[in-house]
Amino acid sequence: MGLFDGFRGGEEAAAMEIRNAIKDELDRIDWNYELSDENEENRQETYFYMRNELENDEPITAVIVVREYDHADGFIKIKLYDIAYLEAGDRRAELLAKINTWNAEFRYVKLCLDRDQDVVVDIDLPLDLHKGKFQPDSIMAMMAVGMRIVENIYDDLMELCTRGHRPRPQE
């Protein structure tokens, strides 16, 4: 079964239905989360913030973003943060080479190094809305896939990085 099955998109209520379906799924599986909605002239965004743990009990931050535009298809983005950061700048090339190797193995899940030198996991799912019913458990499954990938590369990642995220000067 796909992400959408019997879901009719393109209507004003579509984004709210997706938001509510994800919220209901998080409530059903009893996950703690914070919810934030942002509306602008041509788009609506919903953010679900939560903490989760890898199998090795290391905590990470997960964010699900639902973004829909009035004029175009939107997307669902899953981001995993607070995994690791690059402390030694002389290891940047080596880390980027590893990230490129890992990224070549995955279609939807991509690792990147952000502006703070934190390793972040990005999962982008387009909202090419068509007739179908939105399957929020597919979002949870994709988040689990991202976490499983982090667990699989964790030891190699820790050879190059420091656990957690780099504090910004104002933190």
pTM for this model (two decimals):
0.83
Could you tell me which CATH class the domain 12-161 is placed in? Answer: alpha beta
Q: Where are the domains of the chain?
A: 12-161
For 14, 21, 53, 69, 161, the CA distances from 139, given in Å and listed in that order, are 16, 10, 17, 20, 28
The answer to whether 117 and 85 are in contact (CB under 8 A) is: yes
Mean pLDDT of the chain: 85
What is the percentage of the chain residues whose pLDDT exceeds 70?
A: 83
Please list, residue by residue across 90-107, b when 16 or more beta carbons sit within 10 angstroms of its beta carbon and e when fewer do: eeeeebeebbeebeeeee
Of the pLDDT bands very low, low, confident and very high (cuts 50, 70, 90), residue 118 is very high
SS3 133: coil
- The token duo for 45 is 């965004």
pLDDT digits (tens, 9 = 90+) for 35-66: 999 988 888 899 999 999 998 888 999 999 99
